[in-house]
Amino acid sequence: MMFIQHISSPMKKFLFAHLLWLISILLFFSPALSAQEETEAEEVEPVDTYLSIMATYTSNDTVLLTATLYIRKGRVRIDLQNAPISFSVEGKEGPLVAGEVQTDSTGTARLRIPLTPSLPADDDGMVTYTAEFPGTDKYLASSEMFMSKPAKLEVAFYEEDSIKYIHVTGLQFSSKGEAEPIMEETVLLFVPTLFRPLPIGEVCLDEEGSGSIEFPMTIIGDSLGNITVIARIDEHDSFGYVKGEGSCGWAVPKHLLAQDKPTRELWTPVAPIWMMITLLVMLAGVWAHYIYAVIQLVKIRKSAKKETPGEKDLSNYS
């Protein structure tokens, strides 16, 4: 206190101003430092991941395992790319590793497993498939299970009394690998198209696990008339997803169809008439404005060359 009393008044003002400057600097940088600490804390905290898995049994005695990995930021779903997904089958002595696949740009990993020899199953013939993501420093680990009974759909074709039919046979496999018919189930039939499969009908399987439907003769195939027919069972309580395929040459060859003439639509190379007329009118209006502007400039230039009355008066005095 004695030291402060002996300080001169200008020195006191200087020290007070210097103290205020230091306080203002600390107050300015303290929010940035705290925000940086919070950001670092948020970056260190790993993000929850979500994993889904499904198994599709195909007609070539394989099962296709499909897993999808993603995260959520609010309501936005973000797929994780190049993430390792480990697939396994639950056995009596523990999980049997089936393979590891990295996810693609859509966060999906696919692995095809042969059904021969038969996969380990429980007493009801249900096989348990597991997909697991080990996690990283930024993303938490996750896993998901899918249980289904191995099954198979076979698609064949036959002709009777000049009528062509699609024949579907459904089989399911017990825990011992023995084939049994799929009874009283509905099988959906499709043909592949550019965007999504086109439904063409459905078949109800009888007690022997088979059923038929008349082949629609209006389906368009390739240039030789070949077409692929897809039989599917979707979201079944026991079998999950089952898919079978078969090909035949009964479709309408594509080259026999009348060639499509170009139509004047917005999405075709040939523009509609009304659009051409509108464009011509707009271009004519634009060029008319250009011509009018040039004519006005020429008139202004000609009028500037004429002598004004003031100039004539000055010449008389000279």
Classify residue 139 by its DSSP letter. B
Domains of the chain: 50-148 (2.60.40.10), 151-256 (2.60.40.730)
- Residues written for the chain: 318
- 271 — pLDDT class (breaks 50, 70, 90): confident
Supply the pLDDT for residue 93. 82
The two beta strands, 50-57 and 240-248, are parallel
pLDDT digits (tens, 9 = 90+) for 104-151: 999 999 999 998 778 898 888 899 999 999 999 899 999 999 999 999
pLDDT digits (tens, 9 = 90+) for 214-242: 999 989 888 888 999 999 999 999 999 99
- 2 — pLDDT class (breaks 50, 70, 90): very low
CA distance 151 to 231: 13
Supply the pLDDT for residue 314. 46
Supply the pLDDT for residue 223. 84
Instruction: Count CA within 13 A, CB hemisphere, residue 286.
Output: 6
Classify residue 297 by its DSSP letter. H
CA distance 125 to 118: 10
Contacts of 315 (CB under 8 A, 6+ apart): none
- The token pair at 36 is 């940086």
Supply the pLDDT for residue 108. 96
pLDDT digits (tens, 9 = 90+) for 4-26: 455 456 555 556 665 666 676 66
- The token pair at 150 is 């191995």
Supply the pLDDT for residue 244. 95
CA distance 108 to 9: 76
Contacts of 181 (CB under 8 A, 6+ apart): 169, 170, 171, 172, 205, 207, 208, 209, 210
| Helix, strand, or coil (residue 228) | strand
Supply the pLDDT for residue 82. 94
Which range among 42-46, 161-165, 213-217 shows the weakest confidence by mean pLDDT?
Answer: 42-46
